[in-house]
Amino acid sequence: MATSAAGALQLAAQQTSTVSKQPNVIWFLGDQHRAQALGINGDPNVRTPNLDNLQAMGVQFTQAVSGFPLCCPFRGSMLTGRYPHHCVVGHEYPLPDGQATITEPLKQAGYSTAYFGKWHLGGFHESEGRAAHFITDPKKRGGFDKWVGYENNNSQYDSWVHGGEGKDAFHYRLPGYETDALTDLLIQYVREQVAAQRAAKQAGNAKPFFAVCSVQPPHDPPVAPPDYRARLGAGNIEFRQNVPLVKSIREQAARELSGYYGMIENLDFNFGRVMKTLREEGILEDTHVMFFADHGDMLGSQGQFRKMTAYEESIRIPFFMGGGQPTYEGHFTGRQPVLLNAPDIAPTTLGLCGVKAPGWMEGKDYSSFRVRKAGTAAVSLPDSAYLQVVVPTGHADSVNKPYRGIVTRDGWKYTCFEGISWMMFNLNEDPFEQVNLAHNSKYRAERQRLIGRLKQWGADSGDRFGVPVD
């Protein structure tokens, strides 16, 4: 009897699988990588073949946002599934004492867990010295079984990591470029886990793993490895349409973008190394791979730089899911217009693993937009995503006031400061946000609708903020 292609694929997966019945999961994330800066999303300056392939074999959530576009709050939310005002409210705030993370339900489900790279949740303050030499309290490392990380670092060739405790504590400088070295650590861990899974398979107690690789690039300063920076000089940059014709803005943007794109191409290369390792070890089909970033970077758009603002270049992030079991009846690829936010990452990851999200997680599980078992339905698309800055940093190139806002599935964005509207854009007609409608009486009815939805977000999430009446 002939075997169908799908049946042959399933049989091959059953014969070569080295893991338990539950899939492995990898998070691979960069810092300050805006969603627009991808080849597959139309940026002519950058080549990202490995991430482009990830969409071809998986899904890209094309409307993913960083609801609080800042390192610490996003990372607190991604690990806990909670909104920043309930977890990490600002820059240099630590995870609250006793706050569980995604590791708790995963370890209860039998997972080994590991974290490599930037953490930024230990509570270090800039006045204390250089963050790279700060030792994160082992009790504030998120419950990971293996943790090799650092609090913060802005020097890609001088990155220090630490881990362990007591007589097993270590602290050393990574060799070479940070993204390369952290990827080496992740690959070594994957190979060790696969070896352990194969050894334990006959006994029926192979443990799946959850591993995170969090790198600083493409965060500023724009230092890329020379081979990557050499391809695109500052004079060859094609600017986004919303970078103003102001000489100083364009000169700074060109300098930074040439390094920024080099860092992204190096990040893409290293992500490809991880995918190659999974294929070589025969576990790609047993591993869900998620690639995303904590927030974007303005890089001259609207005449601004860095993050914290609610413009598209700041809040939109890449978010891909690939790999995974081929035996699911529903296994989706392509572009998914899901307004996924930081608190949704943990419950979505648990959903991919078949693990129930604990009640303290506030985010939604959107795993069914990637995999869906027979007889189950996808959750409905969210109508909007919540935007907020709870405690501003006060840094230069930043918004120095708290704000709230929403971006909607039907293409609107509305943001406000306490008691006064700030920005309102029709993104369908104005994707580069050139026409602010927040104080145009012609759009009062639309503005009132958006304000009403924003107020509902605050009420539903327990976030007290003085949203304007009109």
- Confidence tier at 127 by pLDDT (50, 70, 90): confident
At 21-35, the pLDDT tens digits run: 789 999 999 999 999
Average pLDDT score over residue span 97-105: 96
pLDDT confidence of residue 240: 97
Q: Is 459's pLDDT higher than 90? A: yes
Measure Cα distances from 163 to 95, 98, 135 in Å.
Answer: 17, 20, 8
Bridge partners, residue 414, by sequence: 406, 424
More confident residue, 372 or 421: 421
At 221-241, the pLDDT tens digits run: 999 999 998 788 888 999 999
**Distance separating alpha carbons of residues 239 and 282, to the nearest angstrom:** 41
Total-model pTM: 0.93
pLDDT confidence of residue 347: 98
The whole-chain average pLDDT of the chain stands at 92
Contact 405, 453 (CB under 8 A): no
User: For the structural domain made of 20-372, what CATH number should be given?
Assistant: 3.40.720.10
Average pLDDT score over residue span 324-353: 85
The position carrying tokens 């409210």 is: 89
Q: Is 116's pLDDT higher than 70? A: yes
pLDDT confidence of residue 203: 75
pLDDT confidence of residue 13: 37
More confident residue, 331 or 423: 423
Average pLDDT score over residue span 80-94: 97
- Confidence tier at 363 by pLDDT (50, 70, 90): very high
pLDDT confidence of residue 326: 54
Q: Is 330's pLDDT higher than 70? A: no
Sequence-distant (≥ 6) Cβ neighbours of residue 411 within 8 angstroms: 426, 427, 428
Contact 160, 187 (CB under 8 A): no
pLDDT confidence of residue 374: 65
pLDDT confidence of residue 1: 32
Contact 138, 162 (CB under 8 A): no
- Confidence tier at 375 by pLDDT (50, 70, 90): low
Sequence-distant (≥ 6) Cβ neighbours of residue 271 within 8 angstroms: 28, 50, 51, 54, 183, 291
More confident residue, 143 or 377: 143
Average pLDDT score over residue span 87-107: 96
Average pLDDT score over residue span 365-378: 82
The domain defined by 384-461 carries CATH number 3.30.1120.10:
yes
Q: Is 255's pLDDT higher than 80? A: yes
**Distance separating alpha carbons of residues 241 and 371, to the nearest angstrom:** 37
Contact 116, 83 (CB under 8 A): no
**Domain residue limits, the chain:** 20-372, 384-461
At 36-85, the pLDDT tens digits run: 999 999 999 999 999 999 998 899 999 999 999 999 999 999 999 999 99
pLDDT confidence of residue 325: 60
Measure Cα distances from 401 to 389, 393, 422 in Å.
Answer: 8, 9, 11
**Distance separating alpha carbons of residues 359 and 351, to the nearest angstrom:** 14
Alpha helices of 58-174 — where are they, by DSSP H? Answer: 71-80, 103-108
Q: Is 19's pLDDT higher than 50? A: no
pLDDT confidence of residue 130: 87
3-state SS assignment for residue 78: helix
Amino acid at 254: A
- Confidence tier at 14 by pLDDT (50, 70, 90): very low
Contact 344, 364 (CB under 8 A): yes
Contact 313, 50 (CB under 8 A): no
At 257-279, the pLDDT tens digits run: 999 999 999 999 999 999 999 99
Q: In the chain, pLDDT over 70 holds for what percent of residues?
A: 94
Strands 59-61 and 334-336: parallel
pLDDT confidence of residue 23: 93
Contact 467, 454 (CB under 8 A): yes
What tokens does 125 get?
A: 């303050």
pLDDT confidence of residue 235: 85
